Amino acid sequence: MERQKKEVVIIGGGLAGLVASFLLVKSGHQVILIEKKVYPFHRVCGEYISNEVRHFLKRNGLFPDFIDMPQITKFEFSDTQGKSVRLPLDLGGFGISRFVLDEWLYHLAINEGVEFRTGIQVTGLEFDRKSDLFHLTLSDSSEVLAPFVFGAFGKRSKLDKSLNRRFFFQRSPYIGVKYHVKTDFLRDTVALHNFHGGYCGINAIEEGKFNLCYLGSREQLRHYGTIAEMEQQVLWKNPLLERIFKESEFLFDKPEVINEINFEPKLPVENHVLMLGDSAGLITPLCGNGMAMAIHSAKIAVEALNEGKSREHVERMYAQNWNEEFRRRLAVGRTVQKLFGSGRGSVIARNLIEHVPFAANLIMRNTHGQPF
């Protein structure tokens, strides 16, 4: 396998795909990124980014300091009754909307030489052993052949079905809902407010706006029929959430909503595709670490491609580094989430944070990585 220039197709242009495309072109590879949507667009995401990526982004000219971003240094947690506790965050983070961040990275990547095909979906993906090439089918009926493919297509895609990935066939009880609001809340704080069946985050982003995003229950939405009714009947039982919903100015015509949010373990390499970001594993949102993981996974995938001496070596190196870096925090996130979304669990969690801050800090450390 030649060590210099490789052609890489990246499927999906979220943070993982965009950062990987930029780093690959910088390392001298030819890159095509295929994204099914057209930038800029909103995504369901809490838009709090852990500081562990700050140095990496700055080092690579990817830190969006052209915009005034709130620095978030404190954490507030309330149980389903609205009893709350605050503590400082260990690493902290910053807030910026994906609408702004992803579009900015998209333009940086174009300027660096990444070829984009947007508004086009990858509908089929096969690896041919004989030719040692991937064969991709696109929604515009075109086809692409490539020696390397990075899968950065997020938490769930039709491609997962065609790759026969196990998690795809398990139904998930969760939905995700996001708004941007103007409200009277602290700009240095990220809050997680529990309600029966889920939890809702709020934190500042750019231009004086706030992100209000929650993980809720598919069953409750079915039961109450509409998002608005479910919010009033379920979320508003937490008085802190009732106040936020009643007193905020909502900036979207309607919420961004997704379903089938699955936290089951996945594999970082499947069918010779290096899986990045959520395609390799979705961490529970309460950790506020999914975007940092997407960025970090892009870095280690590009390093594996640059340093690997054969396809097998690239895959082995990536899988090993991915497992070392992320497997544990994904598992801790799944465990901690069990304390959220129920009356009793959320009271236990609040008491833990209030009376054993050491334990709360330990959990935070175990759901985050170190700056890299």
Ligand X SMILES: Cc1cc2nc3c(=O)[nH]c(=O)nc-3n(C[C@H](O)[C@H](O)[C@H](O)COP(=O)(O)OP(=O)(O)OC[C@H]3O[C@@H](n4cnc5c(N)ncnc54)[C@H](O)[C@@H]3O)c2cc1C
- Residues lying near ligand X in the complex (CB under 6 A) are found at 11-17, 34-37, 43-49, 121-122, 152-154, 157-159, 176, 213, 215, 261, 277-278, 285, 288-292, 294
User: In angstroms, rounded to a whole number, what is the distance separating the alpha carbons of residues 147 and 160?
Assistant: 20
Nearer to ligand X, 248 or 297 (CB): 297
The one-letter code for the residue type at 288 is G
Nearer to ligand X, 5 or 337 (CB): 337
Shortest Å distance, C-beta 41 to ligand X: 8
Shortest Å distance, C-beta 185 to ligand X: 15
Look at strands 273-275 and 71-78 and give their pairing. unpaired
Shortest Å distance, C-beta 77 to ligand X: 15
Nearer to ligand X, 157 or 194 (CB): 157
Shortest Å distance, C-beta 362 to ligand X: 20
* Cis amide linkage into residue 265, ω under 30° from 0: no
DSSP 318-339: HHHHHIIIIIHHHHHHHHHHTT
Shortest Å distance, C-beta 3 to ligand X: 27
Q: How many CA atoms lie within 13 A of 236 on its CB side?
A: 12
The residues near 233 (Cβ < 8 Å, ≥ 6 apart) are 224
The residues near 336 (Cβ < 8 Å, ≥ 6 apart) are 284, 286, 287, 363, 367
Nearest to 144 by CA among 152, 153, 134, 131: 134
Nearer to ligand X, 3 or 367 (CB): 367
Nearer to ligand X, 117 or 356 (CB): 117
Shortest Å distance, C-beta 58 to ligand X: 18
Nearer to ligand X, 41 or 313 (CB): 41
Nearer to ligand X, 126 or 312 (CB): 126
Going through the chain in order, the beta strands assigned E by DSSP cover 7-11, 30-35, 48-50, 71-78, 84-95, 115-118, 122-128, 133-138, 143-146, 148-151, 174-182, 189-195, 198-204, 210-217, 249-250, 256-259, 269-270, 273-275
309-346 core/surface letters (b: 16 or more CB in 10 A; e: else): eeeeebbebbbebbeebbeebbebbbebbebbbbeebb
CB-CB contact of 60 with 23 (8 Å):
yes
Shortest Å distance, C-beta 191 to ligand X: 12
Nearer to ligand X, 114 or 356 (CB): 114
Look at strands 198-204 and 143-146 and give their pairing. unpaired
Nearer to ligand X, 85 or 273 (CB): 273
Shortest Å distance, C-beta 363 to ligand X: 16
Shortest Å distance, C-beta 308 to ligand X: 22
